[in-house]
Amino acid sequence: MKSIIKNIITATAFFGLLTSCSSDDNSGGNVDGTFGEAELYFDNGVNGDALVLGSSYANSNGETLTINRFNYIISNIVLIKADGSEFVYPKEKSYFIVSEESNINTLHLENIPSGDYTKVKFGIGVDNQRYLEGETAQQEFWNYASQHHLTWTWSTGYRFINFEGTFTSSNNSEPKNFQIHQGSNTATDNYREVTLDLPTTARVRQDEKPSIHIITDANKIADGVNKIVLFDNLNPAGTNASIMGGENLIKIAENTLQMFVVDHVHNGSGNHHD
């Protein structure tokens, strides 16, 4: 314990030194004019437990969900320093997919100005502006997203989140399918951005690659500030709850604002999560 505290004090002092002697002479805000890398690691969970596809999780709506798919789009990443200055990751490179079934959890960022970052901001899904710029601007992202079940084809939008499985409740002991496909349509813009505080400063240096470890709580989608009871959304045949439009998507967009938390940051060199 003592050594941890000692380390923290040393590290803090070190940061203090670095920032104080570099703040005046760097117009670009770099520590030393160099660039480094960083990664965002998305650790999918369900209300405090790890998310394991095929496993069942009870929620506070009285329903038990067996999750078979959880893929989503993360975009428009911004790293923010303590003084509020922002590094906006180049938009044309700033569209990523996290896929539990394909084991894609890490987003690699490069050419980041060296510095100490205290917040990360990102979008959930694809913003309308980028969408309307068409496939060239999207850098073939549509193709990539389509391989990960994150596009609609009967309309031309992206699924921001694809959350699928089966559920049971006091109303149905036999499992019924559910599909939650979060996204925008031509009537509703459901793209949202979140800004997360980092519990530890992320140090980007030429030879140091911080890894920002984010826990994604899939439970929040239907069981957040807004409650979405799957049974109430069954189709007329009573076989399937399909949530792909309307008020539900607006509620889910609000729920997803609380879906991400930065658990910790690894500083130093090397890969932390690969």
The contact set with another protein (CB under 8 A) reads: 131-140, 142-143, 146, 151, 153-156, 185-188, 244-249
For another protein, give the closer residue by CB, 128 or 200: 128
Q: Give the DSSP letter string of 84-131.
A: S-EEEPPGGG-EEEEETTTTB-EEEEEEEESEEEEEEEEEES--HHHH
Q: How many CA atoms lie within 13 A of 234 on its CB side?
A: 15
For another protein, give the closer residue by CB, 103 or 136: 136
For another protein, give the closer residue by CB, 51 or 221: 221
Nearest-approach distance from CB 153 to another protein, in angstroms: 3
For another protein, give the closer residue by CB, 3 or 153: 153
Is the Cβ–Cβ distance between 43 and 215 less than 8 Å? yes
Is the Cβ–Cβ distance between 224 and 216 less than 8 Å? no
Nearest-approach distance from CB 28 to another protein, in angstroms: 27
Is the Cβ–Cβ distance between 106 and 273 less than 8 Å? yes
Q: Rounded to whole angstroms, what are the CA distances from 164 to 126, 192, 218, 241, 268?
A: 20, 21, 11, 10, 37
Tally of residues, the chain: 274
For another protein, give the closer residue by CB, 71 or 138: 138
Nearest-approach distance from CB 85 to another protein, in angstroms: 30
Nearest-approach distance from CB 251 to another protein, in angstroms: 11
- Could you tell me what percentage of the chain is helix, strand and coil, using 3-state DSSP and rounding each to the nearest 5? 20, 45, 35
For another protein, give the closer residue by CB, 149 or 272: 149
Q: Give the DSSP letter string of 27-82.
A: TT--SSS-EEEEEEEEEEEETTEEP-TT-EEE-TTSEEEEEEEEEEEEEEEEEEET
For another protein, give the closer residue by CB, 5 or 187: 187
Nearest-approach distance from CB 65 to another protein, in angstroms: 21
Nearest-approach distance from CB 252 to another protein, in angstroms: 11
Q: Which has the closest alpha carbon to 207: 268, 126, 161? A: 268
Q: Which has the closest alpha carbon to 253: 204, 175, 183? A: 183
